[in-house]
Structure 1
Amino acid sequence: MQIRYLLALSLLPQLVLAEETTTPDANMQCIVEPPVPRPAISDSDETEIALQEIQIISNRSEAEMGKQARFNGDVSFSQGGRHIAADEAILDQGEERLDANGNLVFQDQMITITADSLVAEMRNNSASLWGAQYWLHGQQIHGDAEKLEITPDNNLHLTKTNFTTCPPGDTSWLLEAETIKIDSTEEWGELWDAKLRIGDVPVFYIPYMTIPVSDKRKSGFLFPLLSTSTTNGVEVATPYYWNISPEYDLTLTPHYMSSRGLFLKSDFRYLAGDAQQGQINVEYLGNDDMLSDSQDRYLYHWEHRGAINENWRVLANFTDVSDNNYFNDLKSEVQRATDNQMSRIGEISYFEQNWDFTARVQDIKVLGEEEKPYQVMPQVGLNYRAPDFWNGLDFSLLSEVSNFEHDDNEYSTATRLHIEPTVSYPIHGPAGSLTSEVKLLQTYYWQNDNGFEANQELASSVSRTLPQVRLHGQINFERFTSYFNENYRQTLEPQFQYLYVGYEDQDDIGIYDTAKIQEDYFGLFRDRRFSGIDRIADANQFTLGLTTRLFDDHNVETFRFSLGQIYYLEDSKVGISDPINPINNLTQENTSNSVLAAELSTKLYKDWYMSGAIQYDTKQSDNKKSEVTLDFRPGANKLLQFSYRYVPDLLNTNTNESVNISQTGMRAAWPINDNWYLVGNWYYDLNESRSVETYTGFQYESCCWAVRLSYHYRIKTNYEDDFNPVQDNRELFESGLYLNFVIKGLGGSGPLGVSDMLNDGLFNYRKPLYLKN
C-alpha cells in the first residue's frame, strides 16, 4: 500500500538548460535512454511560486510532524519539476534536509542522475550526489562523476568526472576531468585538468577548456583541418570562433601552407536589428613563396542585406582580390575557383502594392580578362503595375535611368533613359490561356564618344522608338491512359507565340550592358534576343511548341517532353558587335527558322531517371548544344549518375579562341553500411583526351564522431595577370589529399554530410530537371 506525505517548503526554481534542436540519426543507434524515476513524470508546465508542495509516496513510512520522517520501499519524492526515486529516504523537517539512497534516480528539466546516495539541502536549494551517472536532456552528453553538486544558484559542479556523446559502452572518445562546472545561465561548462581519450588511449591534455552544453554559441577553437596538395604542400587550418555578443561573432583561421606560408582568414558576421544581417571577410597571405617575387595576396569582402522596414530593402556586396589567380590558388571562404566574376553592388529599394522604386550602383570585375565591363553609376528604376485597370486590361510601366562609366578614359560613357509602357489582355482558364500584349519601347541615349570604337561612330544623342506586339496562347488537353500496366493522367499542351518588334538602325549606340541570351526551349518564347536594351532586335516571327506530361496516381510528374521552334517571317537586321566582350558578338543569319529545341525529363523505371536537352540546327544538320544525364537513386544518399554535355564555339577567355566542349562524367554516392559512405566524381574531356576532375571521398560517421578522407585531382584555371604573370611552376592540374575530423559534442564544425561531398568539386550535382522521387 502506498503512503502519501504532503509538506509545504520553500524551494528555488530548478535549473533549466535549452535543449538542442537536432537529434542524431536513429539508424546509428545513438539515442541514450536515461532511467525514469517512479512514478512516471508528468509533462505539465511548472508554475514558479515561492511556496511549492512536496509530495512523497512510499510503501512504508514512519513520521512525526516537525521532526524526522523515514520512508521505505519505492520512495518517490516530487516538488515542482524535480523528482527523486529511491529505496529509502529520510526527511529532516527541522533541518529541511533530505537523505536518500538505494536505486536512486534524480531528475529535473535539465538532467537525469543515478547515484549511490543523495543529500538535499532544501533551505538553499542545493544537493550533493555520490557515485553519480548523469544524462543531459535533449543531448547525447552523459558521463560519470565521483561527486555531483547542484549549487544554490542552480549550477552543476562535478568532481573526478568524465563525459562523452557516444552510447554507453562505446569509448570511441571520452573526456576526463578533475572538475567540471556547468553554468545554467550561460549554458556552457568549464573543465580543469582534462584529458581526451580516443579508444581508451589518452591523446591530449588540456589544463583548462570550455565546452557548450546546448546549441548556444560559445567561443573556442574548432577542429583543425588537415590536407596536402601539389600546389600548396601540407596544410593545417585551426579555426577559432569568438562569440562576441548575440549580434556579432568572428571566426579567425590561421591556415598554414608549407609551400606558400601563413594564410590568415577572418569571417565577421553581424545582425543589424531584427531584419538586417551581413558579413565581412578579410584574407591575407604575406610573401607567397610560390610566386617569383613573393608577392602579398589578399581579399576583402563585405555583404549586407535586409529590410529597414516594411517597405525599404537594402543590399550591398563588394569583393576585391589582389590578383586574377587568387581563387585558383587559395581556398577562400567567399567564392569558388570556378567563379571568375566579382559583382560589386549597392542597392536600395522601396516597395508598395502597385509600384516599386530601386536605386543601385554596380561594378563587375572579371578575372582573367583585359577588357573591363562598364560600371553602372548609378541606375534608378521606377515600376508601376495596374492589374485589371479597365475592362480586364492590365497596365504596367517600367522606367529606368542608367549612367555608364568606365575606368579607362578611352571608352565612351553614356546616360540612358528607357520607358516601357505595356497594355495586356490576359484570358486564363482550365482549358488554356491567351495573352495579347502591346508595348512601346522608348529609349534615349546621351553618349560621350571617346574614340575607342574605331570602327563604330557613336551619336552624341539617340532617340529610339520601337513598337512591340506579342500574342501568346496555350491549350491544355488531358486524358487518362496506361503505359506498361501503370495508370497515368497525360497532358498535351500546345502553345504558340507571335512576336512583332519594329526595326531601327542601332549601330550608333554603344554596348554597355547587353549580351546574347542562351537559347533553350523556354527561350523560344522570350520577347528579346539580347539581355539589356542597348540592342533590341527586330522580329516578325511565330513560335510553335508542344509539351506533354505524365502524372501517376499520386499526381506526381513522372515524364515531361517539350519540343519547339521559331519560324521567321522576316530576317532580323539587328546584331551585336561588342569590342569589350567578343563572346557577345552575334549577327542574325538569313534562315527561315531557329534551332529545334527539345527537353526531356523522365522516370525510366523504378529508381532510374533521365533528363536531356538539345538545340539542333535543322537547316545545317548541326548539333548546337546538348546534354544528358542518367540517374539511379534507390534511396537516401544512394546515387549513380552518368552525364554528357556538348557545347560548341565556346570562347576561351585566355586565348580569345573558340573551342568545343565535349565532356562525359560519372558521379556516385553510396553507403557501404550505416556508418561508411563512399562518394566519387570523374569527368573526362573527349576533345583533349584527358581527365579534368577526379574526386574520391570516404566518410565514417557515428553518433559521436565523424571523419572524412578525400582525394582530389582537377584542372586549374591559370589566368594571365600583370600582378602575377603565369610562370613555369604554375601547374595545369592540382591534386590533393584532405582530412576532416569532428568529435560531436566538443564544439566541432558539425556532422559531415554526404550532400556537401557531392558538391565538393568543379561540377555540382543536379537532379535531372527537378523530377521528384
Structure 2
Amino acid sequence: MQIRYFLALSLLPNLVSAQEPTDTEAVELHCVINPPVSSSIDERQQVPNLSAEDIVIISDRSEAAMGDKAHFSGNVSFSQGTRHISADEAILDQKNEQLDANGNLIFSDEMFTVTADSLNAQMVSSSATLNGAQYWLHGQQIHGDAEQLKVTEQNNLELRNTNFTTCPVGDNSWLLEAEEIRIDSTEEWGEIWDAKIRIAGVPVMYVPYMTIPISDKRKSGFLFPDFSTSTTNGVEVSTPYYWNISPEYDLTFTPTYMSARGFYSKTEFRYLAGEDQDGQFNLEYLANDDKLDNSPDRYLYHWRHQGSINENWRVQANFTDVSDNNYFNDLSSDVNRSTDNQLSRVGEINYFEKDWDFGMKVQDIKVLGEDEVPYQVMPQLNFNYQTNDFWEGLDFKFNSELTNFQHKENEYSTATRFHMEPSITLPIQGPAGSLTSEIKLLQTQYWQNNIASDSELEDTVSRTIPQARLHGQINFERETHMFDADFRQTLEPQFQYLYVGYEDQDGIGIYDSAKLQEDYFGLFRDRRYSGLDRIADANQMTLGLTTRLFDDANIEKLKVSIGQIIYFQDSKINFADENVEVSPSTSVLAAEVDANLYQDWFISGAVQFDSEQGETKKSEVTLDFRPSNDKLLQFSYRYVPDLLNTNTNDRVDISQVGMRTSWPISDDLYFVGNFYYDLNESRSIETYTGVQYEACCWAMRLSYHYRIKTNYDDDLNPSIDTREQFESGVYLNFIIKGLGGSGPLGVEDMLNEGLFNYRKPLYLSN
C-alpha cells in the first residue's frame, strides 16, 4: 500500500527529514488508500485535485510517523465517498491497514447513521465493527440499539443483540428485540432471527424468523392479520400473504376463517404488460358454506385490463362473475361492495386520430336479484368524425355505430342496429353569452330476428328523424351589497328550443334504452331516453336561470339554478313501447342550490317538483359544517317516491334522514360516526361508529357496524325470509408501521364505510 502525506508547507520539511512524530495544531492529513472507505463532500472541496478514492482526515492535533501509525485527537473527521466518521480520538495503523476510533463516535453514509462507543475498521475488506451502537436508517423512521454492529464490504448491516422501532426516540410503544438482524442495502430488506415483539413493554409475540422492508421495495411475506366479528360471518380472521413474483407480477393470497361459514380464500394477481398496460385477476372461493343447507361452492372471478398499445390504440377489459345473487351481501369481497348489484363484462379497443376515432366493444351485464336479463352487445362498432370551423364558422360531426344485440334466453328477439348521426353546428360565443344552433339527422336501420308470432316487432325497420336545437345563454353581472358584505352577482338566463320529428317506433324492440333523470342539467339534453331504441318526438322550450354570488376574493359563495321544460306538443313516444300521448304541458320544475351559508357552514340541495300535480318527485339536501380538513359534521335528507323495491317488487316511498361526522378527539385520536333513519318504516337502517388512533409508528381502528341487508332470492337460499334482515359486527384493525403492514389507516375510507358513501359538499370555486 502506498501512502502519501500532504501537510501544511511549514511542517512538511520536519515530517520528511526527521520521520519522527510531530504535534501540530489544525493539521490536515490527506490519504490515498485502495480499496476505498469513506468521504465527505464539503471536506473534499477543501483539498484540490482529489480522486474518488481519496481519504480526507481533519483533526485539531495529530502525531504521525511515515509507514507506521498516525494518532489524531480533537474533533477528528475521516471521510471518503459516502462514508464519514467523526470521533474524539482515532489511530490509523498504516502497516495493518486498520482504523480505530472512540469518543463521541459517529459513523454515517447514504444508508444509515450510527453512534457508538468504539469503531474498528479494516481497510482491506472495507468493513467496520462498532460496539455499543445506536443506529438510524436514512429516509425511514427505523432506529434502534445494538451490542455490536458490523458494516460489511457490500455496505450491508449485521447487528447482534439488537432492537429497533419506528417510534420516536424515547417512545417504546412497540419494540422488536432480536438476537440477530441483517439488512441488505441493495435489496433494502432486513432479515431477523429470534425476535420478540413488545407492545408497551409487554412481549406479545415470538417470531423465529421474519423479514421487514426498510424502503418502498416489495418483498414476499405475511402482512398483518385482520380481525372482526359479525352476525353474518361470526368471528373472522384473515392472514394475507404477499408474493413479490417479479417487478412485473405480484400476488396476494388471503386465507380467511369465518366461524359461521368456514374457510374462505381470496387471491389477487396483478401484472404489468409493458410500460402502459396493467391488469389484475381476482379469485375468491368458499366451499360448503356452513350457514346454508346443502350449499354448493361459492366463488367469484374477476379480470381487469387497461392501457395503451401505442399513442393511437387503447384497450380495456373488465369481467366479473359470482356464483349467486347474495355473494356480495354475505362475503367481504375485494372486488365489489354489497350495494353493487350489476356486474359489468366489457371489452373495448379504440383507435384515436386528431379528427376521428374508431372503436369496437363487446358488453354483457349481469344484474343480481332481478329476473330480467339485459341484452348483450356482441359486438358494437363505432366511427366518429369531427371537424371544427370547416366553413364559415360551422362545425361538422358524424357519429355512427353498428351494434349486434344478442340474448342468453331463446324466447327474446335479437337485432342488428345501424345508426348514423351527422350534425352541423354554428357556435357563437362571447363574454356576454353564447348562442348555439344545431341540426341533426338521425338515421337508424334495424334487422330483427327471432320475433314472436304475437309481437308487433317487424323484421326490418328504417327510421329517419330530423332534429333541430337552438341553445342560448346571456351573462349579466352587477355589484351588490347584502348580508353586510359586498358581492358581485351574476344572472345567467338560458333557453333551449328543441324540435325532434315523430316516427312510429312500435316495430322496434327495447335493447339498450332507459329513461333519463330530469335534474336541472338534464332539462337541457336533446334526448329523453338513453340509447337509440326510442327517440321521443319533441317540440319544446327549456327555460333556466342561474345566479351566483362572488365575494371580494372572487370566491363563489352561492349558486342557485332553476329550470323547466314547456311542451308545445305532447310527445307520442314513451318508454312503455306504446303510442300513448304524454299529457303534461310542462316537465318537473328542477332546482339546485349550493351555498356557503356562514363561515364553515355549507348547504347543497336539489328538488324536482311536479308543478301540475303539486307533488315532489325527488328531493335531497345536505348541510355540512367543516371548520377544517379533519373536522366534519353533515346532516342529510332524501326523498324519492314510488321507487321499486327489487326484493318484493313493490313500489315504496323513500324518506330518510342521516347524520355523519368525523372529528378529532385529540391529535392522534379520531371519531367517525354515521346514522341513517327511515322515516316511513320508523327504524334505523344503518349505524356506524368507529374510533381510530394513529401514532407515527402504529395505528389502530375499532368500529361497530349495524345495517340493513340487501337480500335476493337465489338458488342457494330461495326464500329471503330465512336470511337476516339486519347485520351487525365489530371490527378491529391494527398496524405496526415498519413491519410490513398494509399501510396507515385512513379516516377517509371510514367515511365511505357502509351503504351511503360520503359526498363532500360542493366547495364552489374555492
Consecutive unaligned residues in structure 1, runs of 5 or more: 16-38, 579-584
For normalisation by structure 2, the TM-score amounts to: 0.94
CA offsets, 1:496-546, max 9 Å, x none?
A: 111000000101100000000011000000000000010000011111111
Consecutive unaligned residues in structure 2, runs of 5 or more: 1-24
CA offsets, 1:646-698, max 9 Å, x none?
A: 01111122222211111100001100001111000000011111111000001
| Aligned counterpart, 1:168 | 169
Once the 2 structures are TM-superposed, how far is the Cα of residue 459 of structure 1 from its aligned partner? Answer: 0.6
CA offsets, 1:224-275, max 9 Å, x none?
A: 1111111111110111111111111111011111010000100111000000
Q: Does 1:676 align with 2:677?
A: no
Which whole-Å CA distance do the structure 2 matches of 1:167 and 1:519 have between them? 56
Aligned pairs for 1:426-445 within 5 A: 426-445=427-446
Which whole-Å CA distance do the structure 2 matches of 1:336 and 1:4 have between them? 69
| Aligned counterpart, 1:36 | none
- Whether the 8 Å CA contact 1:576–1:587 is kept in 2: the answer is no
| Aligned counterpart, 1:6 | 30
Aligned-pair identity (%): 70
Which whole-Å CA distance do the structure 2 matches of 1:161 and 1:425 have between them? 77
| Aligned counterpart, 2:475 | 476
Letter in 2 for 1:769: L
For normalisation by structure 1, the TM-score amounts to: 0.93
Which whole-Å CA distance do the structure 2 matches of 1:488 and 1:95 have between them? 83
| Aligned counterpart, 1:317 | 318
What SS does structure 1 have at the residue aligned with 2:762? helix
Which whole-Å CA distance do the structure 2 matches of 1:719 and 1:243 have between them? 39
Which whole-Å CA distance do the structure 1 matches of 2:120 and 2:207 have between them? 32
CA offsets, 1:75-108, max 9 Å, x none?
A: 1111122111110111122333221100001111
Letter in 2 for 1:737: V
- Whether the 8 Å CA contact 1:557–1:771 is kept in 2: the answer is yes
Q: Does 1:59 align with 2:60?
A: yes
Q: Does 1:601 align with 2:594?
A: yes
Which whole-Å CA distance do the structure 1 matches of 2:581 and 2:211 have between them? 68
Once the 2 structures are TM-superposed, how far is the Cα of residue 771 of structure 1 from its aligned partner? Answer: 3.3
Which whole-Å CA distance do the structure 1 matches of 2:293 and 2:35 have between them? 73
What SS does structure 1 have at the residue aligned with 2:552? coil
Aligned pairs for 1:63-74 within 5 A: 63-74=64-75
- Whether the 8 Å CA contact 2:52–2:81 is kept in 1: the answer is no
Equivalent of 2:603 in 610, 618, 640: 610
What SS does structure 2 have at the residue aligned with 1:531? coil
Letter in 1 for 2:692: Q
Equivalent of 2:633 in 613, 618, 640: 640
Pick closer, same or farther for the CA change 1:320–1:587 going to 2, 3 Å.
farther
Aligned pairs for 1:508-657 within 5 A: 508-577=507-576, 589-657=582-650
| Aligned counterpart, 1:736 | 729
Pick closer, same or farther for the CA change 1:512–1:42 going to 2, 3 Å.
farther
CA offsets, 1:569-625, max 9 Å, x none?
A: 1111111127xxxxxx99663122111110000001111000000011111111010
Pick closer, same or farther for the CA change 1:222–1:41 going to 2, 3 Å.
farther
- Whether the 8 Å CA contact 2:38–2:78 is kept in 1: the answer is no
Q: Does 1:328 align with 2:352?
A: no
| Aligned counterpart, 2:384 | 383
Which whole-Å CA distance do the structure 1 matches of 2:68 and 2:672 have between them? 69
CA offsets, 1:345-379, max 9 Å, x none?
A: 01111001111111010000000011100000000
- Whether the 8 Å CA contact 1:14–1:154 is kept in 2: the answer is no
| Aligned counterpart, 1:690 | 683
Letter in 2 for 1:358: G
Task: Report how many aligned residue pairs link the two structures.
Answer: 738
Letter in 1 for 2:33: L
Pick closer, same or farther for the CA change 1:13–1:268 going to 2, 3 Å.
farther
Once the 2 structures are TM-superposed, how far is the Cα of residue 6 of structure 1 from its aligned partner? Answer: 1.2
Which whole-Å CA distance do the structure 1 matches of 2:413 and 2:649 have between them? 23
Letter in 1 for 2:398: L
What SS does structure 1 have at the residue aligned with 2:218? coil
Which whole-Å CA distance do the structure 1 matches of 2:594 and 2:699 have between them? 36
Q: Does 1:712 align with 2:705?
A: yes
Once the 2 structures are TM-superposed, how far is the Cα of residue 201 of structure 1 from its aligned partner? Answer: 1.1
| Aligned counterpart, 1:84 | 85
Which whole-Å CA distance do the structure 2 matches of 1:556 and 1:99 have between them? 66
| Aligned counterpart, 1:366 | 367
Letter in 2 for 1:540: N
- Whether the 8 Å CA contact 2:573–2:579 is kept in 1: the answer is no
Letter in 1 for 2:315: V
Which whole-Å CA distance do the structure 2 matches of 1:306 and 1:207 have between them? 43
Pick closer, same or farther for the CA change 1:756–1:67 going to 2, 3 Å.
same
Which whole-Å CA distance do the structure 2 matches of 1:648 and 1:430 have between them? 42
| Aligned counterpart, 2:145 | 144
Pick closer, same or farther for the CA change 1:14–1:58 going to 2, 3 Å.
closer
Once the 2 structures are TM-superposed, how far is the Cα of residue 43 of structure 1 from its aligned partner? Answer: 12
Q: Does 1:301 align with 2:299?
A: no
More displaced 10-residue stretch of structure 1: 481-490 or 529-538: 481-490
- Whether the 8 Å CA contact 2:356–2:385 is kept in 1: the answer is yes
Which whole-Å CA distance do the structure 2 matches of 1:52 and 1:40 have between them? 13
Which whole-Å CA distance do the structure 2 matches of 1:50 and 1:688 have between them? 83
User: RMSD of the TM alignment (CA)?
Assistant: 1.8
- Whether the 8 Å CA contact 1:8–1:51 is kept in 2: the answer is no
- Whether the 8 Å CA contact 1:143–1:161 is kept in 2: the answer is yes
Which whole-Å CA distance do the structure 2 matches of 1:700 and 1:14 have between them? 43
Letter in 1 for 2:422: P
Pick closer, same or farther for the CA change 1:196–1:14 going to 2, 3 Å.
farther
Pick closer, same or farther for the CA change 1:43–1:549 going to 2, 3 Å.
farther
| Aligned counterpart, 1:582 | none
Equivalent of 1:751 in 720, 744, 749: 744
| Aligned counterpart, 2:10 | none
More displaced 10-residue stretch of structure 1: 437-446 or 123-132: 123-132
Which whole-Å CA distance do the structure 1 matches of 2:581 and 2:36 have between them? 83
| Aligned counterpart, 1:156 | 157
Letter in 2 for 1:292: D
What SS does structure 2 have at the residue aligned with 1:518? coil
Pick closer, same or farther for the CA change 1:168–1:534 going to 2, 3 Å.
same
Once the 2 structures are TM-superposed, how far is the Cα of residue 724 of structure 1 from its aligned partner? Answer: 2.9
What SS does structure 1 have at the residue aligned with 2:125? coil
